[in-house]
Structures are given as structure tokens and as C-alpha cells.
Amino acid sequence: MALDLHGLIERGLIAPDRARGLQRVADQFAVALTDDIAELIDPNDPVDPIAAQFLPREAELDVDLHDRADPIGDHRWSPVPGIVHRYPDRVLLKPVLVCPVYCRFCFRREQVGGDDGMLPAEALDRAFTYIEQHPDIWEVIITGGDPFVLSPRRLAELVRRLEAVPHVAVIRFHTRVPIAEPRRIAPPLVAALQSEKAIYVVIHANHPRELTPAVREAVGRLVKAGIPTLAQSVLLRGVNDNPEVLEALFRALVAIRVKPYYLHHPDLAPGTAHFRLGIEEGQRLVAGLRGRVSGLCQPTYVLDIPGGFGKVPVAAGYTEPRKNGGWIVRDAAGGEHPYPPPGDDTVS
Ligand SMILES: *Cc1c(COP(=O)(O)O)cnc(C)c1O
Ligand code: SF4
């Protein structure tokens, strides 16, 4: 059973005297937690990183000058409902707009959590027709919302329909269910992901405390079934804006065979300014991992450019061009080293 605002008050995770103010937040942005997540919250810790991600706060009503309802411009690239086609070789397919938990920093918070959770059957048919008619689509990324809230039967049907499209080679799921409701990653769901085509699962995880024994077992079931698993994390003030936490998160993921894929700089979603940190601070945190922590533990630090211009890496560079056509290359400790231009026969 998902916990709503009242459930959170009953459970002692939110003080009753905040009910009225937080109801205003809940009216605007969906609130839901699973028991698994609620159990992770320490109600006596005012800066608990799990609470920060999932418990509504009054600060969400503060509108920042830079907030945008559609921070990464999905709308602009949506040719038919349920499809976002921004890059030539891949599309997002959004069959469902609900999640088992609602992250307070969600970049799609204006879209998720409404009453119309499912994409209607006719719209889903049209989305598949779009995929079928665009031979450049090599990969379909099933996201939402969270596709793993679907029943195994529905998931299997999505997979089967994509298997039937010859030009689709890769099917990728983006999900928080392995963290939010790990028992859902049960044999029937795993069986629904068996395919002749490559299926990848990308798990959204932001703090090492999210990786409980139940989560590790859930991930283990995916891995044992031969499904490559990656992680995406969001860099968040008050959650993981700290070198020890990032290191622990990425090490813990790699140790359960999950490759950190992206570390997202936070998007300009409405009412989320309190989560944002500067890109320079993000660059410092990411640079702190380089050279000290295994390369397997280094995600690409990316920003989804506001307005729909796509994701680009935003880590600080290690190279500087020289006048002679060569380069200065900085090592992880800041030392600078020359690298010659191609075909150079001088010694510098
Ligand atoms: C993030 C995103 C993708 C996936 O990008 P990758 O860099 O392949 O992970 C695809 N389409 C849209 C619209 C996206 O926002
Ligand atoms: S799981 Fe993803 S889509 Fe769902 S609320 Fe969290 S960030 Fe948003």
C-alpha cells in the first residue's frame, strides 16, 4: 500500500501541524512512498537523505525564476502521445505516468502522478505504429512514470511488440522499482524481460542507503537472468552532494554488478530549487572521484540542456589546446603534461 500524506503523518514521519501546508504541496505534486522507502527514513534525523528525496516540503511551493514546467523540453519532441523522439536513433516510450514513489525533485513532476496513469490503448497503438514507421529507431527506452509498475503480462506484451519490429535492436527500461519496491522484481517480472533482443535495465538510485539487502536481492534476480543493469543518479543538494556519499553509492552499485551510467545535474523542475547545486560544485565532486576510485565507479556527469537540446557531459575538461597543435593534459591531481601534435618530430 502506498503511503500518502495522511499515511506519512500516521506513521510519525511528518508532524501533524504541517498537514495543512503540505496539503497544498500534495495538491500540486503527487505524494507517495512505499513501505520499503518509509522504513529507510530516520524520523529523528532532520537531514535524512532518504526523507529529503521523498517527503514533501513546504519549499516546493517556492517558484524559482528559472523553474520550467517541462524542464527538458519533452513536449517539443513528442510527435504522438507516449513518444519522445529527440535523438535520431532512439525514442522514449511512456506507457504509464505513475510511479510507486514520487521523488520530490522529479524532472517530470508536472506529468506524473495524475489520475490517468495509463496511456490509453489506442494511444499505445499509435505509439507503436510510430516506432514501426521510423526505421531509424534502433533503441526504445521504456520510461514514464515507472514501467515496472505494470503487470508482468503487460510488460511481456510491450517486449513482444518491440521484438516484432525488425529495426529495434535494443530495449531499455528506466525504473526506480528495484529500489522503491524490490519484491516486485519477482520471477514473473524477470521472465517478462526475457527476449532475443538486448534488454537493459537502468535503475534510478541516489544514496547508498537505498541499496538494502532486499534491493540487492532484487538486482541479483535481474543479473542472474542475464540482464545488464546500469544506474542513473541525480546529484542533489542534501542527498548526495558529498564526495564520501557519491563514492559509497557508486562502489556499492558496482559491487552488486550495476554500472553507474549517468550522474544527472538536477533539472529546472518547478519547486525544486532547494535541491540544486552549481555546476562548478558538481564538477569538483566528480573530479574528486577521478584517479582515486575505480573507473567502473565513474558515471558520466551530464546536464539535460533546458528547453530540449539534449544531454551533454558537463564534467570539467582535462585538456587544453596548445598553439603548436599539441595539448596540455591535466592529471587527476592537477599536474599539467604536454602531449604532442600528430606527426610532430620535435622534442618539447
Ligand atoms: C535521456 C533521453 C534519452 C536517452 O539518452 P541516452 O544518452 O541514450 O541515455 C533519449 N531520449 C530522450 C528524449 C531523453 O531525454
Ligand atoms: S521515479 Fe523517476 S519519474 Fe518517478 S517520481 Fe522519481 S524521478 Fe520522477
Structural domain boundaries, residue 96: 49-313
pLDDT at position 63, please? 87
> Going by CA atoms, what residue is nearest to atom 7 of ligand 2?
106
Pair (336, 301) in one structural domain: no
Atom of ligand 2 nearest to the CA of 234: 7
DSSP letter (8 states) at residue 206: -
> Going by CA atoms, what residue is nearest to atom 3 of ligand 2?
145
Name the closest ligand to CA 72. 1
pLDDT at position 343, please? 86
Task: Find, among 193, 302, 205, 218, the residue nearest to 252 by Cα.
Answer: 205
pLDDT at position 291, please? 86
Name the closest ligand to CA 304. 1
Please state the domain count of the chain.
Answer: 2
Residue 97 lies in a domain: yes
Phi and psi for 159 in degrees, rounded to 5?
Answer: -60, -45
- Catalytic one among 104, 106, 184, 241? 106
pLDDT at position 61, please? 95
Pair (224, 111) in one structural domain: yes
304 catalytic, yes or no?
yes
Cis peptide bond prior to 282, omega within 30° of 0: no
| Ligand 2 geometric centre to CA of 125 (Å) | 24
Pair (249, 133) in one structural domain: yes
261 catalytic, yes or no?
no
Pair (309, 325) in one structural domain: no
> Going by CA atoms, what residue is nearest to atom 5 of ligand 1?
311
Q: List residues bridging with 329 in a β-sheet.
A: 319, 337
- Catalytic one among 103, 172, 297, 301? 103
216 catalytic, yes or no?
no
Pair (307, 328) in one structural domain: no
Pair (114, 144) in one structural domain: yes
Pair (167, 243) in one structural domain: yes
Distance CA 91, CA 42 (A): 39
Name the closest ligand to CA 143. 2
Residue 22 lies in a domain: no
Residue 18 lies in a domain: no
Pair (224, 274) in one structural domain: yes
Distance of alpha carbon 101 from the chain centroid:
13
Question: Which residues in the chain land under pLDDT 70?
Answer: 1, 116, 347-348
- Catalytic one among 11, 18, 90, 154? 90
pLDDT at position 344, please? 81
pLDDT at position 347, please? 63
CATH number of the domain enclosing 141: 3.20.20.70
Atom of ligand 1 nearest to the CA of 86: 13
**Residue 250 grid coordinates:** 557508486
| CA distance to 33, 86, 292, 341, per residue, from 333 (Å) | 42, 37, 10, 24
Pair (233, 296) in one structural domain: yes
Q: Which amino acid, 266?
A: P
Q: Which amino acid, 75?
A: H
- Catalytic one among 99, 130, 146, 276? 99
Pair (157, 200) in one structural domain: yes
| Ligand 1 geometric centre to CA of 145 (Å) | 15
| 204 ligand 1 Cβ < 6 A | no
pLDDT at position 345, please? 77
Q: List residues bridging with 232 in a β-sheet.
A: 204, 262
| 92 ligand 1 Cβ < 6 A | yes
